[in-house]
Amino acid sequence: MALAGGAMSALTKLRALDSFELVRCVVEEALRDAGIPRGEVRSLAVTPPGLAGHSTAMFVSRLAAYLGLPLRSLACLENGGTSGALALRWAMHEVRSGRCPVAVAAGADQRLDTRAEPGETVEAFIDRNVHTTVAVYGPYDGPYGLGAPIPYYAMSAQRYMAETGATPTDLAWAAVRLREHAQGHERAMFRGRTLTVEEVLASEMVCPPLHLADCSQFVSGAAAVVVVAPEVARALNRPPVWLRGLGEYHHPSSFSAGAVDLASFPSVREAAREAYADAGVGPRDLDVAEVYGVFSSTELILCEDLGLFPRGRSGAAFREGRASRGGEVVVDPSGGRLSLGHPACATPLLETLEVLLQLQGRAGARQVPGARLGLVHAEHGMLNGSMVSIWERDA
């Protein structure tokens, strides 16, 4: 099967549109991009519109009614950061089954204002936030006051540095290169704002050793891609981008609970191994890779677990430009999570869209010349589970 087209919304700090309209816009635009009339869509798979906040029960049922689309397949899939990749996986299953020659996968993440809601008392506000903390981080980690996963990733960064000799400067180089990549992306959150290694190291220390500029910014936004059967793909105007390999692995741990290693992730290594074997390619064959690096440290660890650079050498690779245009493989040409922006539920589809654009030669100012083979990585938990897909354009 193949990717036929895709689209993304503007990325904004807080929600800019209601969730139905946000998803409708990217679905319609993705179909226009693919050159496929909306009436041909048989399957729609989406993520919940964000992982926190208001109830999203039966979101996709109401969404399909809003769209006015009769469908033979309709699903909402959620598993943290892999949610968008799961929606894509569902679309691919439905195309492969033969029932649905055209399937759309969409993901959206709406960041709510975290202040108290109108009329909410202080007591109710605290109650709501404490319950959310315990719900997300569990009855063992939650009571220690985690409000975000940053401490976990900070400890991962500390272990990575201790075990490999990587330095804060190595981490900073990943952030700096991603910021450079984002300058070529018209919808990147950090377009027009340059970043230097010195500025990363001088930014606020959020959780040592992670500075503010080592962290991605949660934003609102949506993305969608259109998956089609081979006969549909060959009839379209653009060169199709074919699925070549898939890998997925879930380590039985959640955040740090049950974790065996914080400096290298079994889920990434195992999902990558399966995807490379399925595709019959290796990391050296890749032209581009979009990875779910939400922190500069995980960006480096991911590159190593995916086999792009040797253990402990990713920082040097970023510094020397070997992860940018002209290098061995361009990592996150979109600017990545750190500089494109990170609407978590939509992120895997933003990554897939970037690989699609790169492989079709449509990435404009950030185009990787001659890109033919690309990889997409997504994760949930603290990299407890990973999904990897490999895509190739027609020679």
Partner 1 sequence: MKDLVDGAMARAMEFQADGGSGEFYRRLAEGRFQSTRCLCCGRTAFPPRPFCPGCGAGEVEWADLPRRGRLHAFTQQGRALRFLRPEVLGLVELEGVGLVLSRIDAPFEALSLGQELEVAFLPVGGGVVLHQFRPV
In the complex, the residues that contact partner 1 under the rule CB under 8 A are 122-123, 126-127, 129-131, 133-135, 138-147, 150-151, 154-156, 158-159, 162, 206-210, 252, 256-260, 262
Query: Residue 171 or residue 375: which is nearer to partner 1 going by CB?
Result: 171
Least CB distance to partner 1 at residue 142 (A)? 7
Least CB distance to partner 1 at residue 261 (A)? 10
Query: Residue 151 or residue 247: which is nearer to partner 1 going by CB?
Result: 151
How far apart, in whole angstroms, are the C-alpha atoms of residue 328 and residue 282?
13
Least CB distance to partner 1 at residue 196 (A)? 24
Q: Looking at the chain, list the stretches that DSSP marks H as alpha helix, in order from N- to C-terminal side.
A: 19-34, 59-67, 83-96, 122-141, 150-164, 168-182, 197-202, 230-234, 266-279, 296-305, 314-319, 336-339, 347-359
Query: Residue 154 or residue 356: which is nearer to partner 1 going by CB?
Result: 154
Would you state the structure tokens that stand for residue 137, as one six-digit string?
């981080």
Rounded to an integer, what is the distance from CA 39 to the centroid of its chain?
29
Query: Residue 245 or residue 385: which is nearer to partner 1 going by CB?
Result: 385
Is the bond preceding residue 209 a cis peptide, omega within 30 degrees? yes
DSSP 218: B
Query: Residue 69 or residue 134: which is nearer to partner 1 going by CB?
Result: 134
Least CB distance to partner 1 at residue 147 (A)? 5
Please choose, from the candidates 11, 8, 12, 106, the residue with its C-alpha nearest in 3D space to the C-alpha of residue 66. Answer: 106
Least CB distance to partner 1 at residue 63 (A)? 29
Least CB distance to partner 1 at residue 177 (A)? 25
CB-count burial class (<10 Å; 0-12, 13-18, 19+) for 323:
buried
**Contact between 334 and 368 (Cβ < 8 Å):** no
Query: Residue 20 or residue 125: which is nearer to partner 1 going by CB?
Result: 125
Please choose, from the candidates 391, 104, 72, the residue with its C-alpha nearest in 3D space to the C-alpha of residue 232. Answer: 104
Query: Residue 70 or residue 143: which is nearer to partner 1 going by CB?
Result: 143
DSSP 240: P
Least CB distance to partner 1 at residue 209 (A)? 8
Least CB distance to partner 1 at residue 127 (A)? 5
| DSSP string across 338-363 | HHT-B-TTTHHHHHHHHHHHHHTT--
Query: Residue 256 or residue 347: which is nearer to partner 1 going by CB?
Result: 256
Q: Which residues contact 3 (CB under 8 A, 6 or more apart)?
A: 225, 226, 227, 228, 240, 241, 243, 352, 356, 391
